[in-house]
Amino acid sequence: MGEIVVVRDGFGPEVLLVHGGAGPRTTWGALAPLADRWTLAYVHRRGYPPSPPPQECQDFEVDALDLAPLLVGRPHVVAHSYGALGALIAAAAAPGSVRSLTLIEPPLHYLVPDDPEVARLERIGDAVLTHGMDMDPTELREFLHLAGAPVGDGPLPENVVAGVRRAQGGRPTREAHPQLDAIRGAGVPVLVASGDHAAALERICDALADVLGGERSVHPGAGHFVAAAPGFAEQLEAFLRKSVTWQASSSR
């Protein structure tokens, strides 16, 4: 397999940005002003040009293998949605290679067992991966709305349909069980962020922050695309700066 493409912009410590189902521009556009003080490294996951297509399908285990060599320079890692699964697996395999970890609404449903809303979110999300456009149309629209896709009452936009087809066949999120203890045990600074638009996602993020001993922030206003919400960029930069300070003091 060919290597994935990473586009870098800016100056300063590197922040590795790992998108989920939407591409880097949609996911991270609002963070562009941070390039004045940070090197923003935009990862293009397989299937998102100019990176090559996946050999078979979207797979968070393959994402983790792709991300592993990008951790050599010990960047801050910021990961969104499905992309956070691969980022967590890569970070758990080499926690000393991650300066900090920011996780935005990752689909780690198993962290909240016996919750009917979380179970339903997992079911319809994995149905998109399994059946794509052939799944129940009402549930498909429900999931797309939750995922921040521009859907209304009419036919789905062509770019949304293309996104569903790209996701179809992907590895189900229920199979992702990253070694979170390794990350917490290494003392990696963690921020878990959400958009306050779905109760199930809020519970997942609460549970993840608790397991990792991380900070927790909520930023309404942009749905699933939390990076575009008011105040998120400022919160992220404050966390990154604090992580640098904390690690400098702990290494003395």
- Beta-sheet pairing, 215-218 with 190-194: parallel
Phi, psi of 17 (to 5 degrees): -105, 115
**For residue 137, which amino acid is it?**
P
Q: In whole angstroms, give the CA distance from residue 143 to residue 161.
A: 13
pLDDT at 249: 52
SS3 call for 166: helix
Give the CA distances from residue 53 to residues 3, 13, 72, 204, 207, in Å, rounded to whole numbers and listed in that order.
Answer: 10, 29, 24, 30, 33
SS3 call for 248: helix
**For residue 37, which amino acid is it?**
R
Q: What are the chain's domains?
A: 5-109+176-250 (3.40.50.1820), 116-167 (no CATH)
pLDDT at 252: 47
pLDDT at 149: 87
Distance of alpha carbon 3 from the chain centroid:
20
Cα-based torsion angle of the residue sequence 175, 76, 220, 121 in order, rounded to the nearest 10 degrees: 0
- Beta-sheet pairing, 100-104 with 14-18: unpaired
Q: Which residues pair with 93 in a beta bridge?
A: none
Q: In whole angstroms, give the CA distance from residue 52 to residue 168.
A: 17
Would you list the DSSP string of 72-125? Answer: TT--EEEEETHHHHHHHHHHHH-GGG-SEEEEES---GGGSTT-HHHHHHHHHH
pLDDT at 56: 84
CA distance between the termini of the chain: 42
In order along its 252 residues, the chain shows pLDDT tens digits of: 579 999 999 999 999 999 999 999 999 999 999 999 999 999 999 999 999 999 888 999 999 999 999 999 999 999 999 999 999 999 999 999 999 999 999 999 999 999 999 999 999 999 999 999 999 999 999 999 998 888 878 899 999 999 999 999 999 999 999 999 999 999 999 999 999 999 999 999 999 999 999 999 999 999 999 999 999 999 999 999 998 766 555 554
pLDDT at 151: 84
The predicted model scores a pTM of 0.94
| 13-45 residues labelled b (16+ CB within 10 A) or e (exposed) | bbbbbbbbbbbbebbbebbeebeeebbbbbbbb
Q: In whole angstroms, give the CA distance from residue 118 to residue 75.
A: 32
Give the CA distances from residue 41 to residues 21, 196, 237, 244, in Å, rounded to whole numbers and listed in that order.
Answer: 18, 27, 15, 18
Q: Which residues pair with 18 in a beta bridge?
A: 43, 79
